[in-house]
Amino acid sequence: MVIAYGTSRRFLVETGLPVGASMFTLFREEPLLLTLAEYRERNGPAEGEPDDYPDGMAVAPDRLFSLGWLTHDTEVVIDGRTGHIHGWTGGALEPLNADISTLAFALWMHRREGTLDETHRLTGDMYQPLADTMAAVLASVDPMACEPTGEKDDWRYWPEVFHDEAGGVL
């Protein structure tokens, strides 16, 4: 457990996350690495969130540290004990990535696609095959990010956002 925290911390210090990426924004108004519990204690629940955390929440709010935001109003939080990355959206906690490095990889892949698209216009007629490929590549290095578990209401952020042609994510 301590290894995951140390590895995540080292990755954040030595490599970091992309600042100003089109999909990800670091927190600016608040000090970094507030837990969800600390944030709520200071500011109350965010707009649209319930007053209390859901019963049976998979990870205790005092273990989840806020890193920033992804598109679609998804707050990125890291489990301080395991290093797993979760999305916190409207009072629901969803698995996002296995660790900080695979979150960085997903953000890098999205940015790289955008750069290549400027030159080669990949998304036009090839949007769905490109989204399928990006989800498959991410799943090959981080199954947690893309592969459904088969549980009721199972949802994975990355395949959904990659395939959001109407939202123009790619």
Q: Which residue has better confidence, 47 or 85?
A: 85
- What length does the chain have? 170
Tokens, residue 141: 């290095």
Question: Given a cut of 70, is residue 126 above it in pLDDT?
Answer: yes
pLDDT at position 57 over 60: yes
Mean pLDDT of 150-168: 85
Spatial strand order in the sheet of 74-79? 24-26, 64-70, 74-79, 85-89, 92-97
SS3 content of the chain, % helix, strand, coil (to 5): 45, 15, 40
- The reported pLDDT for the residue numbered 31 is 58
Indicate the pLDDT class of residue 1, thresholds 50, 70 and 90. Answer: very low
Q: Which residue has the higher pLDDT, 33 or 144?
A: 144
Mean pLDDT of 129-144: 95
- 105 confidence band (pLDDT: 50, 70, 90): very high
E strand map for the chain: 24-26, 64-70, 74-79, 85-89, 92-97
Q: Is pLDDT of 2 > 50?
A: no
